[in-house]
Each structure stands twice: as C-alpha cells, then as structure tokens.
Structure 1
Amino acid sequence: MILGILRQCTTIRNLIKRPTIVPFYKNISLLDTTCLSAIKRCHLEFRWLHRSMATGGDNTVTSKHQNRLAYERSPYLLQHATNPVEWYPWGNEAFEKARQEDKLIFLSVGYSTCHWCHVMERESFENEEIAKVMNEHFVNIKVDREERPDVDKIYMTFVQATSGGGGWPMSVWLTPELTPVFGGTYFPPVDRYYGQPGFKSLLGILSSQWKDNRQKFAESGAKVIDVLKKTTTLDVPLALSSLANSVPSPDCGEKCLEQLSRSFEPQFGGFGLAPKFPQPVNFNFLFHVYGREPDSEAGKRALDMCLHTLKMMAKGGIHDHVSQGFARYSTDERWHVPHFEKMLYDQAQLAVAYSTAFLATGDEFYADIVRDILQYVGRDLSDKSGGFYSAEDADSYPTHDAKHKKEGAFCVWTYDDVQRLLNKQIEDCNFTLADIFCYHYDIKPQGNVNPNQDPHSELRHQNVLIVTGSEEETAEKYGLALPAARAALEEGRRVLFEARQKRPRPHLDDKMLTAWNGLMISGYAKAGQVLKDSCYIDRAIKAANFVKKHLYNPTAETLLRSCYRGSDGNIVQISAPISGFVDDYAFLIRGLLDLYEACFDPSWVEWAETLQDQQDRLFWDEEGAGYFTSPASDPSILIRLKEDQDGAEPSGNSVSAHNLQRLGALLDRQELQDRAARLLAAFTSRLTRVPVALPELTSALLVHHDAPTQVFVTGRPEDPDTAALLEAVQSCLVAGRVLALADGRDRSESVLYRKCEVIRRMKPAGGRAAAYVCRRRACSLPATAPAELRALLSDPASCRALQ
C-alpha cells in the first residue's frame, strides 16, 4: 500500500532519477517497527525500479528470478542477482535467518572478474535443481572479496589451513554462529570432474551431517576457531619494549635475496614455475637492494632478475599489445597465455616497477611500458570524476549475438582475422603488413595456444600475441630500416585496436576501492616524477581529490572502503557504507606521500598524517604490535587477523612500516619511527625464517637499519636552479629516500613547517638553491650543482659518512 501511494507522489520522477537518495528511513526514529520495515522495503523497491528502468550496462537486472542481491551495488553481487539461488548479502538478515531456521550457512566469496567464479555460477548457481537444494537446506550468502577483505581473510585462512590450498571462488559452510566447518574453492556440479567431489553431493552430505551430528559440528567448529586464533597470533620472541634487541637483523635482507634467487626462473624470468604472477612486491625489494648497493654482486644480481622478468613480461601475452595494460597472470612459464582479467592493482604496481626500471637503466623500453599501462588505465579504468575502476573481466561474448561468454574472446585473434585486417601491401616490397605482424607476434594459421593452457578449448585456433624475438630481428627479416619496421607494427596494432572496439566488451567492475585508488595514485605520481610528465602528476592529484570527496569522512577523519558508478554515471554509495580497512589507510597514505614528492604540496602530507593517526587508533594491536586487518567494531568478524604475507598486493603491515618511517622522518616524529620498529619486531619469526613471504616488509627492515635518506631542497620550485636540483634527486634511485622541499614561503599553517625543525632551518646557499642530504640527524654540506648532488646520492660511501 505504501509503495502504491509513494509511486503516485508528484516527486516520483525526481526520486527515480536519483538512485543516490539517502535512505530516508535512517532519519525516522519514532515509527513503529511494522511501518519502518514497510518503508525499508519501499526504499529497496525504488532502487530496484530505477535499476530495472536503466538501459544497457552491467547493472541492469532483468530475469524471472530476482534475489536480494539485486539491491546491492557491487558488480559481483549484481552478477548473481538473477540466480535461482536465494542469495543474501553478508549481514544480520542472513545470520538471523540461519539462527531461526537452524540451518548451515553456505558462504560463497569471489569477485566480478574471476573466471572460475563464472564457471561455478554457470554450472551450479544457475542450475535450478542445485539451487532448489541450496534454498531448502542452507542460508546462502554471497560476498565480494574486494568489498569485504576481512570476511575473505578469515575464511580463506580456514580453507588454506584445512585443505592445503585456496583461491576463488571460495566455498565455505558455516554454523549459524558463523563458525566454519567445511570449505574449499571451486567445486564442479557433479562428481565426475577433475577428481573432486561434486557440489550437489557435498550439499547433501553436509545437510545430513548437520541434522544428524549437530554436537560434532559444534565441537569441530569450536576447535577450528581455537586453532585459528593460536596459529594466527604473531610470535614476538622478545619484549617489545627493548626495541634494539627485538628488531630482526639486516641479515634478513640477504636471506630474502637468496630465497628469491633460488626461485628465479632464468629463461623467461619470474619466480617459480607456471602459473606465473607478476609479483610486484618482489620487484620493490630487489630494486631496493640494488639502490642500496648498486655496485655489489648482490645489487647487480637483484637488478638483473628485475629487468629480465619485466622485459619478458612486456614481450609476453600477459601484456596486451593491442589495448595496453597487463592481465592478471600467465598460465604457462613463457608469460604467453594469460587469464585475461585486468586488475587495477596490477596496473598500479607495475607502473611503479617499470618506472623504477627506467630510473635504474635509462632504457626507453621501460618508459614506453609505463606510458602503455597508464594509457590503458586512463582510457578504460578511469571515471570522469577522478576515481579508478577495479577491473575488466576475462570472459566476454565472441559476437554480439552469442549466448555464452568465452575467456579471452575480446583479446584473441585468428590468423585469418589478421590477414584480412592487415592486408596492405608494403610499398616497394613483396609482402604485406600482415606478414610482418604475424612474424613479429608469432601468429600462426592453426593458432599459437598450447592446448594444455586451454582446458575448455575456448582458445582453439586462436592467437595470443607474443614477441619471441625483437623489433631489430623483424626489421632484418624483411629488409626494413628499424624505424620503418616500428611504424608498420604500430600501424598494425592501431588497426587491430579499432577492430577490437567493435567486439562486445568484457564486463567492467566499476566499483572504486580506496586501497586500489591509493596504489594508482602512487603509480601516476611515480611515473610523473621519473618521466618528467606533469600530466601524470595532475592525474594523481585528481584521484586524490576524488578519494577525499567520495571516500573520506572529514568529520570523523575516517575512510570508506568503496563507492560505485551509478546508472546515470554519477558516484553513488550503498545505504550502509563499508568502513575502510587497514589496506585502505596504508595504501592511500603511501599514495599521498608519493604525490607530495611529485608536486610538493604539503597538504597531502598533512592528510597523510591525519590518516596515519586514525589508522593507529583503529587497527593497532597494543598488546602484540602490528595492525589488524579490520577494526574492532564489527561483531560478525570472529577473529581479527593480521596480514602476514605480501602477495598480489603488499600487506597493510608492510606498507605501514614504510609509511611510519617516511612520516617520522618528514615530520620529525620519533614515536612513528618507534612504532615501525615495534611492527618489525612483531614479525620477527616470519622475517628471520621466510622473509621471501614478506619482501616489502624486508625492505622496510633494511630502511630501519640504514635510516631513511632525507633530501631537503631549498628554493622556489619555479626557479630553474631549484627545479634542476629536484630533477637530479628524482633521477637517482636511492633506497629509503625521503624528499622534501623547503621553499622559504610563509607556510606557518603547513604541518611540514610546523613540525619539522630541519625544514625550517634549511636556507639557500649564497643566494642559490641548495640541497642537503641527511641521515640520523646529520646532514651533508649544501650541494648547489645537480652533478654534485647526483654524486652525493649515488655514492654509498658518502651516505655512510653521514651516519
């Protein structure tokens, strides 16, 4: 009745046009429960009505089935909104239903661009018969792991501990008290596939056991939680108060390098065998080792491993030679056949890695890859308001009238495709543009994909572009000058790009995450510094302003996890926004510090300090040190865990150790340096036994023992002398560098000038801009010439003399 009345209101058109309306029931405190529930349903109906009226886009939900996920904003949850499964989002409604009906919870966790998540959906969650079993015997919950990394972390820890492996989709069965009792990853629908038990069989077995062996389930769940609590507690061997003795020695760095060297694959690069992941955290550590000791055997070995891997990745099929950017990982050892999803966090971290490679070598090859990555992000993962989207899917429709998606359909080419599109005779030659292109990118008439990398035969007769030689070899093969060969290849890529745009695009996950936006701010800021491109710095500033506007509460000084693109193109939020996690704070703080070193606006340091203090209040473990992944305010999180591994993304603890040291050096706050030392001490066991699990934290440990290298440049940034000194600093790879500008302006309100006595004291030398290199509160004599400053920064002996 209420819905009917509201739909007749004269303001209905305005309401429908504004899907971002604040849930008005939040402001009603005196209504009785029945009326309040009715109004809540009306609000959900309004959101459903708006989404149903939208045309095009991935968020339109039209089907004979509609479950509660239709009211969510997560692209992953919306993908499952029309499953016959009665999905619930993570929350009290589902928990209460499980308790009242005394049912197990089936928790399915994934993300919108996950290939095997799509497979399990097609095979099981869209199967009416399986859905009937799920709905009758379980309360079914869907979680987007990118929205709720805390939920994912708890139950992935359980799955890994009990099955020996992990991944997505993650499938876990929970008691109504949210205790896990059984779990795994992908399950085929029936028993005959891949040697795994079928999903339908598991549903029957677990349902029967829950009914017949309730006490056993309860006892088993309690034991699991107890074991998880014990095994996830960090082992701190010494009292954290005695920092000098508690922090591990710098020998951990040597051990980490040794462990990476043992896993390095010398032919194609990378660490370990197939499947191969980029692992940017390894590059960060290795470049740190090189920057610390560039002339040592260890430094040279570290650099060689980085450069070879980055070059082979750029030549491989994991790199999209037509539409730029990098796929998530390669299924083979050659970096050839990827899973085709493209993640924002990979683009962000690889932009930093290739920028650092260019900084270390001056080789334009690496600079071109940076530009390539940022071209892709700027074109395909950027929102008009300044934020960055999360990912593009691996799967897409092969044609506009196709009924089923295939992995890589948007990206791959048949030999005939290329011959037809590039059938242009090269002037004064007896070959075509297609001939050159097929030779250079290893395109074959029967396709170039090994069937072992194509389990579903979706890439049969298809080609994934890969460079097995070089531009020089291609030019020589066809008797062309190198510039002519490069121009031909560029023309071929342009023609294929235009042809690709006519294909059905893969799904775009337009969710915007604070953490990943923070990583991308670093990517643009670092690229802007290294490539001397102010456009990249401006893009980083735009992104930082976006986060401040849409993902930050200035009153509470807290971050949100996510926001979303509405069907009208504007930024929207869910009715109960998700609070930020430790990664959101840590990655954004790093991004802001990198942005300051690119543009020297001290307001970014001030915001970074505010966020760091808030992160310490929300996540710091006063008893055991280190940062919890989630705040203490969510009762649905059974165990507050700490991320103790640098994986596809660095852990929040690793990035925070760097942030604390950088902020402590910039703001002259010794307590931040002390907190970094306590954090490092908390991970002693991990750092001393398997530092390769935490390469990002290991480099922070080396900074702790070396002390940050502070570089203060005096003078106005618009003056040529000052700009030349800043460029000299930014063109040197210095491990643990902290850069600040003392421009002499009256900035008494700036946090830098207010808190850092060194910056206030720094003056030009003899009327000229000067640079001071400082370590452990001792500074060099002022350097006024760029060559003098470069020599000071590149000579480890001169830096040690400052200690």
Structure 2
Amino acid sequence: MNRLADSQSPYLLQHADNPVDWWPWGTDAFEEARRRDVPVFLSIGYSACHWCHVMAHESFEDDSVGAYMNEHFVNIKVDREERPDVDAVYMEAVQAATGQGGWPMSVFLTPDAEPFYFGTYFPPSPKHGMPSFPQVLEGVRTAWTDRRAEVDEVAGKIVKDLGERSLALATSELPGEQDLAAALLGLTREYDAVRGGFGGAPKFPPSMALEFLLRHAARTGSEGALQMASDSCEAMARGGIYDQLGGGFARYSVDREWVVPHFEKMLYDNALLCRVYAHLWRATGSDLARRVALETADFMVRELRTGEGGFASALDADSEDAHGRHVEGAYYVWTPGQLRDVLGEADAGLAQAYFGVTEEGTFEEGASVLQLPQDNGTVADAGQIESIRARLLAARAERPAPGRDDKVVAAWNGLAVAALAETGAYFDRPDLIERATEAADLLVRVHLDDAARLARTSRDGRVGPHAGVLEDYADVAEGFLALASVTGEGAWLDFAGFLLDHVLTRFVGEDGTLYDTADDAEKLIRRPQDPTDTATPSGWTAAAGALLSYAAHTGSAAHREAAEGALGVVKTLGSRAPRFIGWGLAVAEAALDGPREVAVVGSASDPAARELWRTALLGTAPGAVVAFGSDGTEFPLLTDRPTPGAYVCRRFVCAAPTTDAGVLGEQVGVRGR
C-alpha cells in the first residue's frame, strides 16, 4: 500500500495498491521533489471516470511503468471532486495549452508546482497519433535532465500568462430585457430542433440552460422558450441517457440522439435534472415530467443515499459483464436473448419493440441501451409494461453492480436537498422532504464547524480534510433556502445566512467579483475564478442566486447588492455563451421579476392556510421565495402580519392580502390560472 491508503477518497483508495508510489497533494510531495530534484507528475481524476480506470489498468498497475515513475518523478494523485480548486487551475492551463481538456488529467510540474507539459489519457502504446505513456515519461525525463533551462522558462511563462489572464467580464450593470432576449436567441441558434438539446455529440444534459428557459417562459410568456425546454426534456427522458428501468440520468450521451450514454451516474446531474423536470411539470402539467422527476428522486434515495442520510457522489460507468470482464455499461444493456431469458418469448417481443432493443444492437456486441422510441408503434397495456419493467429491474439487480463513490460532497448534497424538497412538496411525497431534511441535517452536523465554515466532503460520517469552495457554500445555501420554503422551518433560513455571510467576507474580491476559493485558502499558482457553468452551476452564479433569495427573504440590502454585483458578468456573457452561463441567466430572470416574496400567514393545521402555502410553492414566478407560519416566527417576511392570508410582494412592496387560492395563483403564476 502506498501513501493513499489513509485517504477518505474512494478514488484515491482505488490507487492505494498501485506499484506507483503515489503521494496525496500537499507540501510534503513538493518538498520531496525539490530534495530529489525531479519533476512532479500530477494525475487528476475521479472514481466514476471510465478513462481514468482504463489508464490505471494499462499503466499505473504495470510494475515496470510504476518503477520508472518512482525513479524519475514524485507522483501525486488528486480526486478532482475533493479538490476542485487544484483541478480548476491546472485544467485552465491544460485547456490554454492544448485547446481541450478532460480526465484523467496528466500534468507535469516543477517542484514549485508550475506546469510545463500537459495531457489527458495516454495509451500504453502509441495509437491514433498519441504517444504512449512510457514515451511521454521518457520525453519529460529527458527534457528535465538535458534541457532544464528551457523547462523552467516554459513553466515560468505559463504561470505568468495564467496570472495575467483577467476575466475583464465584470460590470456593475445588471442584465436587462435585451440581454436575456439575446441569450434566448443565442440558445435558439444552437438548439437541435430534431433531437432536443444543444450542439452535437457528445451531448450533455443542459440543466442550467433548461432552468433559464423555464423561468424566461414563465416571466415573458415565450412559447418558444417553453417548447425548447419541453422538447429537450422529452427527448432525454425517452433516450438511453435516462435509465428506463431504475430512473436517473447518465452523465452524457456519446451521440447527438441521446441513444448511447456514458453510463456513469452523478449525483449533481440527477439533482439538477430532478428539479428541472419538477419545474417543467409545474409549468405544463406534463405526465412525463412528473414521472421522470419522481423516478429520479426515487433513484437518488434508493441508490445514492448513505447510511448517515447524505447522498453519495456517483455510480461507476463500468461493472462486470457475464464473462467477468470489467466493461462500461454492462449493468444496463440488454440483448434480445437476455430479454427472452427473463420474460419469456411473448413478453420479450413486446419489450424489444417498446424499449427499442434490436437484433444488431445499439451499443456493443449486439446489446442495446433501453429507450422509449416515439415512433415504435407499440400498443401495450400499461399494467403489462409495468410488469415487464419490474421483472427486468429485478433481474438487473442480480448482475454485478457498478461501484459507488460514497463520499458526500457538500455542494452536490445541497443541490439534492433543493430537488428532493421541492419534488416532495409538489407531488405530496413527505418522505422525499424527510430525506432532504436528513441530508441537510448531516451537512449541519458534520460539514459545518463552530464558526459555520463548511467542509467540502465527508465519508462514513467523518468530515474530510478539505475546505469548502464557493460552490459548496452557494449550493448548500440554495438547498437550505428551498427547505425553509417547503417545511416552514425558519432555522434553515438562518443556516443559509451563516453560509452567505462567509461568501460576503471570504470569497468576494476587492473589485466585487467572486473567487472560487476563500481568501485564506491554500495558495495555488492562481486563485481560481470562473463564472461559467460546467456540469454544475458555477459557484459565482450559484452564490448570486442564493444571495438574491436570501435578500428577498430578509430585506438585506448587502445581500441584494452582492447578488446584483455578481450578475454583471451575465450581461457580458449571456449573449456570447448562453449555454455556459445558464444558471446566471436563470438568476437574472429572478432579479428582473423581483423576485416575488410570498408570505403565507396561518397554521399548518388549517387546511385553508395549507392550500395557500401549496399554491405559493406551485407558482412559476422566477425565483419566488415562500415563507409560511404565524406572525412572529423566524421568517422576516411574516413579521407584523397578524391577519391570516397570503401576501405577494416585490422589494417588500406588497399587494393586498388574499385568502383566495385562485387569486394567489394568478399573482404567482400557477399553471392554468
């Protein structure tokens, strides 16, 4: 076992018995490189990464490769999910140097942590124009020993260039109607009108852009925005990217038709998409959206929930097939013969037609990914289909399951709390609200210290060693704010306030822009700062959204001003790159609408008050906040409102109170009113 044996990270533990003498990220590793005067090889990945596993099997488990690495390098392994800051700064360097990036990320550094050579996956032998990993190692070693001055010069220039890169994006001006209309036009140009979604292959679920489209449609009545969101959601739900048996979404589709996924399932994707489908149902009443939201919520609870009440990070793409091979997708795909073995001849034929399983297969080796083709012409009794689905799901459960990364990431659990709380409220599923509350309790109990500082991860109820980054503070605050609205418990609003106070004091720069790490975080070659979305909302715009909601709840001018300051970047990027600033656009919609502040005064034991509360939660007004309870509770919105009823306000200027749920529905944009 190497130095990774004591790690909490499942990804690092996967490498603990490699012949490579891995070091965790830290000063000790760089001091060792300095003492030995050798370069550092930095390998960054994550546990559900297919090509990370491939490179590990091909190279890091090879004794001769390991021996060479140990002799000529200090080798560092990083779990990008534990250290998104380290990942971000070196990914920026990789992308600047090569024009692309990905994982596994392979970077060679000086003992001062300055990068000088980059790559991602390297094969064990040369192929497809790529050098082999042994060739790369030999080339870097030779350059280090024979051309050291050149290496130092390159490393210094890269660090200097990174340090001089300025966002130059921030403006004090909020995005307005024209900016959001321009962003919508940009999305329309990139929209795939045939298959839904945006761009070509590989195609990723556009969760943040979909939230913007739903909010824009709610605020402006844009039928085009709603149609793009609805059609994209239907295409994904019918495709192979969605697990037609167990619910939940895979990371992305390798094709533009959503047929063949990259099979890993991430908590963040499923939390974001669960919320999007719930919001789509709220806007349209779509039965498909309702089913997918609930199935995705149930998937998260069933397969990702940990024993401590939090949610695990991911399920692997790979698992063992019937021949004992560890391959991608083995758990999920079916051949016609496998269907017959489980269902018998007649039902197998129906299942083939219904789920789009073909004799030639849609994946590999004659296997198919289950889909729900729109034009399959299959007429089947709903009960029969449910019986088939249940039998296939039971049979699949007997297969070797994909591995699970069971560390709890604060930010992604915050997203899950928001999704489960709202889905539970919309569909009268108190069990989902309870699961959201338990996850929030874990975040408070384990991840928060006495100073309300947030840790990035935990595992088995033990807090991890790494500090939370901006997205952790923002997404956990977002989850707490959603939970406060759904439960009527003002304590969650207070916890959100503690976190957002840290955002204001520790993550805001002198120019008012936001950084991804706190001012007292470990100093890297560059302090990471990125307002654009990746697979999750950027910490920058997630913070803007949580600050805006908190200000709407409390009337805090400081939080409102910080939110508006952060949204200036959306004005700059919205028309240029709307797919990559989707969450910021969604928050801008809320700011333009108010957001609306809904105070429902009454008792939870009063059916009329509960009807008003539910009506308020079902409103589609972008980013509306809801407070429920009696006068004098912990919600500032309820202060000095002794009369039962609902009050709808903007910037604390209120319409006349009402006890009529129909009137309230009109005020908050409930569908059909």
Trace 1:318-337 onto structure 2 (pairs within 5 A).
318-337=241-260
Q: Give ranges in structure 1 of 5+ residues lacking alignment.
A: 1-65, 238-242, 425-431, 450-458, 566-570, 799-803
SS at match of 2:312: coil
| Aligned amino acid, residue 154 of structure 1 | V
User: How far apart are residue 763 of structure 1 and its match?
Assistant: 3.0
| Aligned amino acid, residue 772 of structure 1 | Y
SS at match of 1:741: strand
Trace 1:60-459 onto structure 2 (pairs within 5 A).
66-191=1-126, 193-236=127-170, 243=172, 246-294=173-221, 299-399=222-322, 402=324, 404-423=325-344, 432-449=346-363, 459=364
Cα 1:283/1:669, change in 2 over 3 Å? same
Trace 1:272-671 onto structure 2 (pairs within 5 A).
272-294=199-221, 299-399=222-322, 402=324, 404-423=325-344, 432-449=346-363, 459-469=364-374, 473-475=377-379, 485-553=381-449, 555-565=450-460, 571-573=461-463, 577-621=465-509, 623-671=510-558
User: How far apart are residue 468 of structure 1 and its match?
Assistant: 1.1
User: How far apart are residue 682 of structure 1 and its match?
Assistant: 5.1
User: How far apart are residue 742 of structure 1 and its match?
Assistant: 4.5
Cα 1:209/1:274, change in 2 over 3 Å? same
Provide the C-alpha distance between the structure 2 equivalents of 1:324 and 1:513, rounded to a whole number of angstroms.
Answer: 22
Q: Give ranges in structure 2 of 5+ residues lacking alignment.
A: none
Provide the C-alpha distance between the structure 1 equivalents of 2:586 and 2:374, rounded to a whole number of angstroms.
Answer: 35
Whether 1:697 and 2:584 are equivalent positions in the alignment is yes
Q: Could you list the per-position Cα deviations for residues 90-124 of structure 1 after superposition, in whole angstroms to 9, with x for gaps in the alignment?
A: 01221111110111100000000100111111121
Provide the C-alpha distance between the structure 2 equivalents of 1:324 and 1:695, rounded to a whole number of angstroms.
Answer: 25
Contact 2:318–2:330 (CA<8 Å) still a contact in 1? yes
Which position in structure 2 is the counterpart of 1:783? 658
| Aligned amino acid, residue 210 of structure 2 | F
Provide the C-alpha distance between the structure 2 equivalents of 1:159 and 1:560, rounded to a whole number of angstroms.
Answer: 27
User: How far apart are residue 739 of structure 1 and its match?
Assistant: 1.3
Contact 1:582–1:619 (CA<8 Å) still a contact in 2? yes
SS at match of 1:559: coil
Cα 1:670/1:69, change in 2 over 3 Å? same
Cα 1:151/1:510, change in 2 over 3 Å? same
User: How far apart are residue 731 of structure 1 and its match?
Assistant: 2.3
Trace 1:7-18 onto structure 2 (pairs within 5 A).
none
SS at match of 1:496: helix
TM-score (norm 1): 0.81
Cα 1:393/1:600, change in 2 over 3 Å? same
Contact 2:29–2:76 (CA<8 Å) still a contact in 1? yes
SS at match of 2:205: coil
SS at match of 1:642: coil
Q: Could you list the per-position Cα deviations for residues 586-625 of structure 1 after superposition, in whole angstroms to 9, with x for gaps in the alignment?
A: 000000000111111000001110111022222111x122
Contact 1:252–1:698 (CA<8 Å) still a contact in 2? no
Which position in structure 2 is the counterpart of 1:707? 594
Provide the C-alpha distance between the structure 2 equivalents of 1:795 and 1:778, rounded to a whole number of angstroms.
Answer: 21
SS at match of 2:378: helix
Which position in structure 1 is the counterpart of 2:613? 726
User: How far apart are residue 292 of structure 1 and its match?
Assistant: 0.6
Provide the C-alpha distance between the structure 2 equivalents of 1:318 and 1:762, rounded to a whole number of angstroms.
Answer: 48
SS at match of 1:474: coil
The root-mean-square deviation of aligned C-alpha atoms, in Å, is 1.8
User: How far apart are residue 470 of structure 1 and its match?
Assistant: 6.5
Provide the C-alpha distance between the structure 2 equivalents of 1:561 and 1:128, rounded to a whole number of angstroms.
Answer: 34
Trace 1:22-41 onto structure 2 (pairs within 5 A).
none
Which position in structure 2 is the counterpart of 1:39? none
Provide the C-alpha distance between the structure 2 equivalents of 1:159 and 1:469, rounded to a whole number of angstroms.
Answer: 41
Contact 2:20–2:70 (CA<8 Å) still a contact in 1? yes
Provide the C-alpha distance between the structure 2 equivalents of 1:696 and 1:166, rounded to a whole number of angstroms.
Answer: 22
User: How far apart are residue 445 of structure 1 and its match?
Assistant: 2.4
Between 700-709 and 126-135, report the one with greater CA deviation.
700-709
Contact 1:561–1:584 (CA<8 Å) still a contact in 2? yes
User: How far apart are residue 463 of structure 1 and its match?
Assistant: 1.4
User: How far apart are residue 677 of structure 1 and its match?
Assistant: 1.8
Say which structure, 1 or 2, has more relative contact order (CA 8 Å, 6+ apart). Answer: 2
| Aligned amino acid, residue 165 of structure 1 | Q
Provide the C-alpha distance between the structure 1 equivalents of 2:398 and 2:589, rounded to a whole number of angstroms.
Answer: 50
Provide the C-alpha distance between the structure 2 equivalents of 1:166 and 1:786, rounded to a whole number of angstroms.
Answer: 51
| Aligned amino acid, residue 123 of structure 1 | E
| Aligned amino acid, residue 385 of structure 2 | L
TM-score (norm 2): 0.97
User: How far apart are residue 675 of structure 1 and its match?
Assistant: 1.1
Q: Percent identity?
A: 36
User: How far apart are residue 365 of structure 1 and its match?
Assistant: 1.6
Provide the C-alpha distance between the structure 2 equivalents of 1:690 and 1:248, rounded to a whole number of angstroms.
Answer: 14
| Aligned amino acid, residue 267 of structure 2 | L
Provide the C-alpha distance between the structure 2 equivalents of 1:236 and 1:90, rounded to a whole number of angstroms.
Answer: 32
User: How far apart are residue 73 of structure 1 and its match?
Assistant: 1.6
User: How far apart are residue 636 of structure 1 and its match?
Assistant: 4.7
Contact 1:256–1:695 (CA<8 Å) still a contact in 2? no
Structure with bigger gyration radius: 1
Cα 1:374/1:683, change in 2 over 3 Å? closer
User: How far apart are residue 420 of structure 1 and its match?
Assistant: 1.6
Which position in structure 2 is the counterpart of 1:42? none
Q: Could you list the per-position Cα deviations for residues 631-689 of structure 1 after superposition, in whole angstroms to 9, with x for gaps in the alignment?
A: 23344522112122112100011111111111111111111111112222356533454
User: How far apart are residue 323 of structure 1 and its match?
Assistant: 2.1
SS at match of 1:108: strand
Provide the C-alpha distance between the structure 1 equivalents of 2:611 and 2:176, rounded to a whole number of angstroms.
Answer: 38
User: How far apart are residue 169 of structure 1 and its match?
Assistant: 0.5
Provide the C-alpha distance between the structure 1 equivalents of 2:273 and 2:665, rounded to a whole number of angstroms.
Answer: 26
Cα 1:416/1:247, change in 2 over 3 Å? same
Contact 2:600–2:638 (CA<8 Å) still a contact in 1? no
Contact 1:340–1:407 (CA<8 Å) still a contact in 2? yes
Contact 2:248–2:270 (CA<8 Å) still a contact in 1? yes
How many matched pairs? 672
User: How far apart are residue 532 of structure 1 and its match?
Assistant: 2.5
